[in-house]
Amino acid sequence: MPSSSSEAYVPLRQRAEWWDVRPVPQDEGPHPVVPIAYTEEFRDVMDYFRAVYVAGELSPRALRLTTEALMRNPANYTIWHFRRLVIDALDSDLVEETLFVDNLAKANPKNYQIWHHKRWLAEKLGPEAANDDHDFTRFMLCHDAKNYHAWSHRQWVLQKLGGWDKELDFCHQLLEEDIFNNSAWNQRFFVITRSPLLGGLSAMRDSEVDYTIKAILQNPNNESPWRYLQGLYKGNPDSFITDERIPQLLLNILKENSYCVFAWNFLLDVLCKGLRPNKEIEEAVKGLTELDDTGSSDQDLPTRICSALERMDPIRVNYWAWRKSNLTL
């Protein structure tokens, strides 16, 4: 391991175990344009690493050397690849290796090579690694709820090693803490559609619609549950069109907040999918879009909504104009 900050670094040429190794300096050519100002410690470690790498030395000291190198540059994929060769050759303790890589990941939470190494370890350890990996990604997500690497690893572990039984509760916990956590909404959809324990989207749709409507009513200006609600009807547009909870939700929201862009967008999408609005919805839309002085009273409902959205959401005015232009295509 590298020396602590309180200890002076001992060059490898002064360490007894490396007396027989001739370091291989980095070849930057005769006239490097922009030479990198490596520290002497980093240069020393990498010169010796290149020597053992070229020699193909799969030894305990080579493993220790990769540790020193990775502590100084955890993004070097060549070192990680060589470390895996050494671990396999020595039949090293994989639990100990997991502790090493977890500590490195905490200091480098968005490092591709570290997460790839964790997946490699989990594959070798098998289902017994599932709980520890779930605990670890939970820890990482507590510090950064949008860490793509942690979410990707968690989904991979679920599919390959298991641990589905508590995942929906985990998603609910995250949404209780932050209802705007779009990553948690994404994970929730992943669980209800992929978990072998829940019966799939068709079995979960009814209860999930209730769950999502509750979240929307809690904060209508949160785009994530609106998108999630549409996703719940994926592959089953008829249910989307006939579910009586949908028009009631829209009426409730728009009566309270006639400028809720997400509600108008949702209604537009529903109408474009074939929903035949009941009289109450039709009257509400006509009444609320009267606020839009650019529209015409004889426009159909989708066109009226697009016209209103052009005014309500000026940042995306070109998008709404494009949507309106495509309504008749």
pLDDT in tens, 236-257: 777 776 788 988 898 899 888 8
> What interhelical angle do 40-55 and 77-90 show, nearest 10?
50
Euclidean distance between CA atoms 297 and 282, whole angstroms? 12
Average pLDDT of the chain is 90
Asked if 243 contacts 209 with a C-beta cutoff of 8 angstroms, the reply is: yes
Give the contacts of 188 (CB within 8 A, at least 6 positions apart).
Answer: 168, 171, 172, 175, 228
Instruction: Please compute the mean of the pLDDT values over residues 225-232 and round it to a whole number.
Output: 95
Separation in Å, CA 85 to CA 59, 90, 120: 10, 9, 12
- pLDDT score recorded for residue 304: 87
Euclidean distance between CA atoms 114 and 231, whole angstroms? 33
* pTM: predicted TM-score of the whole model, two decimal places: 0.88
- The closest alpha carbon to 23, from 9, 13, 14, belongs to 13
Give the contacts of 27 (CB within 8 A, at least 6 positions apart).
Answer: none
Place of tokens 């027989």: 20
Structure tokens at 300: 């159909």
Give the contacts of 296 (CB within 8 A, at least 6 positions apart).
Answer: none
Structure tokens at 94: 């994989």
Structure tokens at 261: 């862009």
Structure tokens at 264: 């108008």
Give the pLDDT band (50/70/90) at residue 1.
very low
Separation in Å, CA 293 to CA 15, 289, 304, 311: 82, 8, 10, 9
- pLDDT score recorded for residue 299: 65
The distance of Cα 91 from the centroid of its chain, to the nearest Å, equals 33
Structure tokens at 215: 């979240």
Res 320 pLDDT > 90: yes
Domain ranges of the chain: 1-92, 244-329
Give the contacts of 52 (CB within 8 A, at least 6 positions apart).
Answer: 21, 59, 61, 62, 65
Q: Give tens-digit pLDDT for 247-298.
A: 889 889 988 888 999 999 998 988 887 766 667 777 777 776 665 454 445 4
Euclidean distance between CA atoms 308 and 289, whole angstroms? 6
Euclidean distance between CA atoms 135 and 293, whole angstroms? 55
- pLDDT score recorded for residue 239: 73
Instruction: Please compute the mean of the pLDDT values over residues 172-200 and round it to a whole number.
Output: 97
Which residues form the catalytic set?
110
> What interhelical angle do 223-231 and 182-194 show, nearest 10?
20
Asked if 178 contacts 146 with a C-beta cutoff of 8 angstroms, the reply is: no
Structure tokens at 35: 């030479």
